[in-house]
């Protein structure tokens, strides 16, 4: 059974991964899925910022509700 996620639990989970690599899957609209690698740069009360790997100057911001509604999916690499 999957644990019920809330915005506060999503925020705490993302805060624990600041500075780590992440794979970002975002809904680009019209059946388009955007996949990028990046690093979680900072966390704010309503949003979080990811610096994209392929472009050092480009950052994207998403809200925690985007993760809750699965518009954005974050995949953290597993450490072995």
CATH of the domain at 55: 2.30.30.100
18 compared with 3, residue with greater pLDDT:
18
pLDDT, tens only, 27-60: 988 889 999 999 999 999 999 999 998 866 899 9
Beta strand extents in the chain (DSSP E only): 21-29, 32-43, 47-52, 59-63, 72-75
Q: Is 3 inside a domain boundary? A: no
Q: Is 37 inside a domain boundary? A: yes
Q: Is 7 inside a domain boundary? A: no
Confidence of residue 2 (pLDDT cuts 50, 70, 90): low
| pTM for this prediction | 0.84
Q: Is 12 inside a domain boundary? A: no
DSSP state at residue 76? P
Q: Is 2 inside a domain boundary? A: no
Segment 1-8 mean pLDDT: 74
DSSP state at residue 23? E
């Amino acid at each position: 059974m999957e644990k019920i996620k809330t915005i506060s639990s999503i925020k705490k989970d993302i805060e624990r991964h600041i500075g780590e690599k992440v794979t970002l899957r975002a809904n680009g609209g019209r059946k388009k899925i955007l996949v990028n690698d990046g690093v979680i740069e900072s966390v704010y009360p309503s949003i979080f910022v990811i610096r994209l790997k392929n472009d050092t100057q480009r950052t994207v911001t998403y809200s925690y509700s985007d993760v809750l509604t699965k518009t954005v999916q974050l995949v953290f690499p597993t450490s072995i």
